[in-house]
Every structure is written in structure tokens, then in C-alpha cells.
Structure 1
């Protein structure tokens, strides 16, 4: 996923301030919460992206939804909304998480499965992700029923696509020739 330059700049500035105040870890947890909440809630995404909704309403909604967040996170909400960039909040949160993991010499690996992953399989996937990355890895799990079965593992710019959907697509291309 390509993130906007603006999202990267906001995330970097937020991380710099959080590191300076020694609250980078707490802000990272807030950003994970923002990322999950905005991703799972279509109405919230539309609300933040709408040019018809006033900044004060967006700011109030974010402060209410994430009322337990760190002061730096609240300040970031204010700055982003005041600059009419609430539409990139999800990207800012994602980029912050990436920068935080890089700062701690870790990488984020994403595994997508059709159903919930078992703890035993999670251990094996985490081991494979560490091998691919060559460093400590944090595993992010996603469920996408459209892949039908198997998994897709992404670590940095590497991807292992062992999904049923990809296998069926390969077979279809072979038979089409």
C-alpha cells in the first residue's frame, strides 16, 4: 500500500514528538486502535472524508471515540483536522506504526487467512516471517474469506501467496493457453 507523503510527514512529526516526550509506545498503541477502528467502520471513514462535515464536528467525534488516548494523540487529531486532512488519518496511523517498528528494529508482517489462524500455525508463520525479514517481526493478522483457504504472508516488499484463490487463478491461466 502506498501511503501519501503528507501521511508520512505527519506520522514522522508525531513520532518525533512522542519520542521526545518518552511516550512513543503509548502513542503507538493509540495509533493501532485508530487504524483498527477506522478500518472496520465504514461510516467513520465516510464521516472523516466528507468535506460537508465541519472540522469541529470531526474533532469532537475523534475526541469522543478515542477519549482514552494519549495527549500527543489528541494533539495529532487536532492538527490533522485543523489542516483539513482528516481523510488521511488512517494512513497516518499506519505509517506511525511502521516508523515505530522500524525505530525498534522490528518489522510488521501481515498474514491474511480465510479463517482465524490457530496458535500453532501462528507460531510457524511468525518463524517464517522472521526468516524472511532477518530481524524481529510483529505479526498482524487479517481475515479475508475471498482467498478461500491457505494464506498470504507479506513482510516488507516480500510476499508468499499460498492462497487457494491464487492457485485457482494459476490453473485458470494454464488452461486458458
Structure 2
């Protein structure tokens, strides 16, 4: 069985279990924190995959990543995954839970990348525009990347609109035959 199938099955089981207990929103918050920890600290993936680290320590690492206000269902799930020796799949399970949650709640995940931080009003206007465009709730994440020089890059699920100066210069360079 491959990573995708295993991760999807565990993520789906967590979502259904959380829905039965009406805690899917709280579990989602925990899973987002866990995904952020995996993204911010790549060493976490290596640590939980290491056979030299005890299961109790892996559980502590993962529960620390979700924070002290974590939902009981999330904590039980983490313990279950480690006890079943499936901790290698945890980053994939967490990503898949987010995706399944978004599908279930009709949420469109969008990211806007700008050279400088955008004002809250601008973020709200972008959220409103995408919400009308997709007829769905929008979860907008903002990123800053000074290398794009100016403009923005808007990712809406699997679609990208690159209106950055870096992107335009890259296209110009490409069309000039280089």
C-alpha cells in the first residue's frame, strides 16, 4: 500500500470520528498546527521516523507540536498512530486531513504571496473576491517573499495567477530567447 492510500484512510477515519463527536473543527485547528510544525521544523519529520527515538518521546514531540490546548481526540489519534507504528505517515495524514476537512466544509484554500505584508483590508477584499468567484468559504493565507519584487502571486487550490514583477521579467526573458 502506498503513502497516499494509507494517509487518506487514517485521515478519513480521524475526520469521521471527530465528526461523530462534533470536534472536527477543533481537530482541524490542531492538525493545522501540526502541519505548520512539520513545515517550520523539518527535523520533526526525521525525529518521528527515527527508530532510535522511543515511542513515548515521539508522542511528546507530536503533542508539543499541537500545543497545550489540543483537543483530546487529536491527542488520542497521535498516540494511536505511534502505537500502530505509522508515525512515518503522520505528515501525510495531517495534510490529507486538511484537504478532506476543506472538501467537507466547502472551503477553498488560497494563498497570496506579496513582496511586502498586505493590509488586512486588502486580504479581506481578496477573500471576498475569491468567495464570490468560487461560491465557497475561503481560507486565505498570506506570505511575504521579497524576491518577487512587486505585484502578487495568487494560488487558489491548484490554480496560480502570477502577477509578480519577477514572474513578468521571467516571461520577458523567456520570450527574448534566453
TM range (shorter): 0.7 to 0.9
- With 25-34 and 3-12 compared, the bigger mean Cα shift is at 3-12
Q: Report how far residue 13 of structure 1 moved.
A: 0.8
| Corresponding residue number in structure 2 for 1:122 | 123
Question: Relative to 1, partners in 2 of residues 1:111 and 1:67: Cα closer, same or farther, differing over 3 Å?
Answer: same
Counterparts of 2:114 and 2:99, CA distance in 1: 21
Partner of 1:83: 84
Q: Does 1:172 align with 2:177?
A: no
Mind listing any 5+ residue stretches in structure 2 that lack a counterpart?
Answer: none
Q: May I ask how many residue pairs the two structures share in their alignment?
A: 175
Aligned to 1:138: 139
1:142 is paired with a residue of what secondary structure? Answer: strand
Asked whether the 8 Å contact 1:132–1:155 carries over to 2, the reply is no
Shift, 1:144, TM fit: 3.4
Structure-2 residue corresponding to 1:68: 69
Structure 1 stretches of 4+ with a deviation exceeding 6 A read none
Unaligned residue ranges in structure 1 (runs of 5+): none
Which residue is equivalent to 1:101?
Answer: 102
In structure 2, distance between residues paired with 1:49 and 1:146: 34
CA RMSD of aligned residues (A): 2.2
Compared CA separation, residues 97 and 173, structure 1 to 2 (3 A): same
> What is the TM-score of this pair, normalised by structure 1?
0.84
Instruction: Name which of structure 1's ranges 22-31 and 97-106 shifts more when overlaid on structure 2.
Output: 97-106
Once the two structures are TM-superposed, the CA of residue 73 in structure 1 deviates from its matched residue by 0.4
Deviation (angstroms), 1:103: 1.5
- What displacement does 1:77 show? 0.9
- Report the TM-score when normalising by structure 2: 0.84
